[in-house]
A and B are shown apart, each in its own frame.
Chain A
Amino acid sequence: MNNIIEITDLYKSFGEVKAVHNLSFCVKKGELFAFLGVNGAGKSTTIGIICGQLAKDKGTVVIDGNDIDKNIDKIKTEIGVVFQNSVLDKALTVRDNLEFKASLYGIYGKEFEDRLKELSEMLDFSDILNRTVGKLSGGQRRRVDIARALFHKPKLLILDEPTTGLDPQTRKTLWNVISGLRKNENLTVFLTTHYMEEAAEADYVVILDSGKLIAEGTPLELKNKYTGDYITLYNTTEETVKNIGVEYEPIRDAFKIQIPNTEKATELIIKYPSVFKDYEITKGKMDDVFLSATGKKLEGRNEK
């Protein structure tokens, strides 16, 4: 079996509000899966159902071959979750937090010590093990959060906006660790994020709006479908660009031309070889995909 998550015809309502409406998608083992949507789109509801915290109204959810209605205890041993807001006990030390978390999965004694050593080295927090969580920086706390979610070696790691508010260096460290885990342990990562550059790195993307799936595919497929390409022309004059006869946008030291696809770019280059001497062709960004698919802009926690 190649899919770790199989969701079919999932429905969930809260009173009159249809939080999730006829949602179906699959997540392949070992992939980085991005689950996008503005606040209230149904992401957290879906995650709540996957984790067994919310009851669904209709549909099937199968995690690693186990139906959520029949085998939830088995599923719980295979999922690790990094919540949007840290759930660490601020009054306790890092070690205490991890020790209590490990005990929930029956990990004690030497097994705990070995895993603690492994994770603290991997996530670089060996020096703060005896420090109270309340006194840690946001980045340090996030690393411990991730260690807490990974302690029982889950097959599926759910990251709910894991890097929001973190500095670029910490974000990079976290993604390096996660990439390493995916490569070495075939860990599947289910990511919700407001950072489109993170979503662009995903193997597969699903975009939700008002509880419904409105777009899905690889980032490339989505870019091809929802955005065009851009040609940036350098070292040329505006008069020359005008002669091409397409709409353009002057930028600081170049001109940007939006075209429907790469094929069109090739046509232009062949037709006007003297103009295309210093240029680059780029795909649209995931922000553009999101905007085009939903009509909404994803900006942190305040969508526009």
Chain B
Amino acid sequence: MNTLFYLIRRNTKLFFKDKGMFFTSLITPCILLVLYAVFLGKIYRDSFVMGLPEGVELAEKLLNGAVSGQLISSILAVSCVTVAFCSNMLMVQDKANGSIRDFTISPVKKTALSLSYYFATLISTLLICFTTTAVCLVYVAVQGWYLSVSDVIVLIFDVFLLVLFGTALSSIINFFLSTQGQISAVGSMISSGYGFICGAYMPISQFPEVLQKVISFLPGTYGTSIIRNVAMRGVFSEMKADGVPDFAITQMKDAIDCNLYFFGNRVELGVMYAVLVCTIAVLIGVYVAMNVLNKKKG
């Protein structure tokens, strides 16, 4: 246990010593927020207005609150996974520069070694994602705040869950990489592609039906929906209080993936959490097993 603690400390220290990597990871979600707000804000806003029944008008603050809720849920859903990939480079760096040999000639257990990379990435990713969450909450407060204290706590918990998921996923994928070039390529692919397949850049409801069915098998989709549900909960309550009919609210929830459907059946929020938690457990198990079963070369 002590060895695991020291290894985590070594890995975390190395991550924060590389200031370029740390600040890039930190700034990227903030840049994303600005880009989202500038380029996608109007599209989100228009789709909300179009979703309202005739004769129903929303207050400007509520509309801004809805747009900002959707924006931050997208950013957080993407960041928790992409930041994990950016932070989880040390495992590959150790292979590339030969440091891994120093570990493998020692009697340290492969489980401890693999978990040390996992937990170090988890710590750095959490730090960055919680900072991003704070920035996002400030943005929501400026635009229109409809979150309760419990919503904020649940949001933080959701970010934690999604970081666990992103870190496990990145650990498994990075396990197969051995050069800096490979990790850069994978990082770019994940950064550009994950937002689409998890429903962050575009609601899944707008995808073709076949694609929707395929995407409903991906656990990341439920992660996005979980965060979106909590980010929008206050806004929808306020809409209901303002007289927006239930069917209109359901339509809006369907449109922005607060409601997800698995082959036509609506997936309850509890089931979404269960899917995510089980996926995290399986991914971590697979990652550790891959390390333990990884035979000597040749």
Contact = CB atoms under 8 A, between A and B. Distances in A.
A and B pair up: yes
A100 B6 contact: yes
B99 A89 contact: yes
A234 to B, nearest CB: 51
Nearest to B10: A100
B111 interface: no
B105 A101 contact: no
| Most B-side CB within 10 Å, residue of A12, A14, A89 | A89
A85 interface: yes
B14 A53 contact: no
Interface stretch (B58-66, B231-239, B290-298): B290-298
Contacts of B105: 51-53, 76, 79, 81
A244 interface: no
A246 interface: no
A101 B102 CA distance: 8
B18 interface: yes
Contacts of A48: 297
B208 interface: no
A108 interface: yes
B58 to A, nearest CB: 52
Contact of B296 (A54, A79, A148): A54
Nearest to A132: B17
Given A12-B298, A83-B98, A92-B13, A104 B104 contact: no
B18 A54 contact: no
B200 interface: no
Nearest to A57: B298
Interface in B269-298: 295-298
Contacts of A76: 105-107
B248 interface: no
B101 interface: yes
Interface residues of A, number: 29
A99 interface: yes
A53 B101 contact: yes
Nearest to B113: A104
Given A14-B298, A55-B297, A92-B13, A106 B2 contact: yes
Given A89-B99, A91-B14, A55 B295 contact: yes
Contacts of A87: 97-99, 101-102
Interface string A79-117: 101010101010110001001110111101000000000
A64 B107 CA distance: 16
B176 interface: no
A73 B102 CA distance: 14
B263 interface: no
A12 B297 CA distance: 11
A252 B298 CA distance: 54
A55 B10 contact: no
A52 B108 contact: no
A77 interface: yes
A104 B101 contact: no
A299 B82 CA distance: 48
B103 interface: yes
Interface string A222-237: 0000000000000000
Given A92-B10, A96-B13, A104-B107, A53 B297 contact: yes
B250 interface: no
A91 B18 contact: yes
Given A55-B297, A91-B17, A91-B18, A105 B98 contact: no
A103 B103 CA distance: 11
B7 interface: yes
Interface in A33-53: 48, 51-53
Interface string A196-222: 000000000000000000000000000
Contacts of B106: 76, 101, 104-105
A54 B107 contact: no
Contacts of B148: none
B18 A83 contact: no
A104 B3 contact: yes
Contacts of A106: 2-3
A226 B97 CA distance: 40
A79 B104 CA distance: 12
In the A-B complex, the 6 residue pairs with the smallest Cβ-Cβ separation, listed nearest first, are: A103-B6, A104-B106, A91-B17, A55-B296, A100-B10, A76-B107
9 contacts: A48-B297, A55-B296, A87-B99, A87-B101, A92-B10, A101-B102, A104-B7, A104-B107, A108-B6
Interface of A: 12, 14, 48, 51-55, 73, 76-77, 79, 81, 83, 85, 87, 89, 91-92, 96, 99-101, 103-106, 108, 148
Interface of B: 2-3, 6-7, 9-10, 13-14, 17-18, 97-99, 101-108, 295-298
Given A87-B102, A92-B14, 15 more contacts: A48-B297, A51-B104, A54-B296, A54-B297, A76-B106, A81-B101, A81-B102, A89-B10, A91-B17, A91-B18, A103-B3, A104-B106, A104-B107, A108-B6, A148-B102
